[in-house]
Structure 1
Amino acid sequence: MVPLLLIVVQLFLFTAVRSERLFHPDDCTKRLEIFNREVKQHCPFMEKDLLPAPPPSTTITVGTIRYRRCVHELAKPERAGLLWTGFWDGDPHASMNVLKSFATATDSQTLHPDTHLGQLMDKSGILKVCDSEVLNPLWATASDQFASHMRYEWQKKVVVLINKKLHGERPLLHSVFYQFELYALAFNHVGYLRTQAGPQNVWQPDIQLIDLQGTCTESMPFLQKSFKNIAESFGFVFNFKPEKWSCEDCPSGCSLLDPEIVALGRQP
């Protein structure tokens, strides 16, 4: 009995160590190769990798127009795009299962991980082993593609689920949403015109924030100011409309699946 138990324990430890090594930071180059190989299967005509192996270069080269279109297709959602930050399985109030249930209830789709591009990012393991120097260019490209799909579909409302505070441990300031997706939203808001110059052709969706930390009085003014500053930095004439923004607190005791919260998450 004892030898059998010892064997089981040894197998468990071996599996745990092997799993830990599988996602060791030194494995980033190998994971990048897997990611690029998967992307190339969908974009066989691409001239360069979406993510070059580090070092020396960590800059994305988008390449040809056909390649841009291919990556754009990989990022295409099947339903209205849903943005989120701060969800993880250690928080029952904001777990990944809760996020998926909310997306289903509102007939929407998370852009990561539920689009094809998001699935390739997860499947390759790069998000677990590569540092920000490598991942930041990828998030910048992916965020722009995700936001551009919302614009192409003329999505009337962009819903953002926030489970981070502005400061402290793992703050909103350091999130992918704040660093890349908000920038992409602002750029697509003012940086492109649908047909011809004119304010009637600028994509101006409603921005619905749902704050699971219960800090709307802090998060919305901060994000509005950041959005406005980003948009104005592009040099376009920009008429910021704060009335297009709204925020609903949903702290502990509130559920994303409450009918009134689900209603806020649906497209008009």
Structure 2
Amino acid sequence: MKTIFITGASRGFGRLWTEALLQRGDRVIATSRDITSFNELKAQYSDAFVPLSLDITDRNAVFETVKEAHARWGVLDVVINNAGYGVFGATEELSEKDAKEVVDVNLFGTLWVTQAVLPLFRAQGNGHLIQLSSVLGLWTLPTLGLYSATKFAVEGLSEALAQEVERFGLHVTLVEPNGYATSFAGDSAVLSQPISDYDSVRSALTANEGMQAPATGIPEATVPAILQLIDSDNPPLRYFLGKVGLQRTKQVYAERLIEWEKFNHVAIAAHGK
């Protein structure tokens, strides 16, 4: 039995994984801005489930909530930074408000939870931090540049973090799902005010790999993979979910290597010695 703290647990992956963890006998502290959706779970798993209201963009609230969660059973084995959402819009279309808000949630919210749990993990001498990234933290799609920017940032932050905390016996994993039939592109998404010149870009998006229906994963199918990750004694730094991630990433990185090699003589000359 493990004690697991998970953010953004009221819907999508967070809800599925919370239910699966409770069903197999783990203890779960789940957060969301609105915890009324947890009433049924609380009634069913009253001894093992603690719902807590949290706005992860409020750093002080994050630290207090993590402290409260840890005090409940005196331990946190796994922390899942799941909260986040997508913004759809060409770069020129993005509003200041939408840009700042998604960075606050997807990047800074992840950072605040990470900072809050690390002292507890270090004191325990163990702990597994799972960061929800995306295949779009490795490569991009048009009109999803800002979302990708937040996930690229989470990737860089977490890769450095893994090197920093390895000496303490702590583990960090970036979970990188491809497209799934969740509310990511539905009522959870924020849409920009469109500029008609980009309509053709939006129309072409559905033809990109990973956006077509056959490449869209079934959310429930992720449960065994997440349970296996949580139970791993030596979890990986990066962990794809879905069949698109590795295939597409190999293609993208092969293209990048070709381009870097093509201009490597310029890079070497620019070194200066």
The structure that has the greater radius of gyration is 1
TM-score (norm 2): 0.40
TM-score (norm 1): 0.40
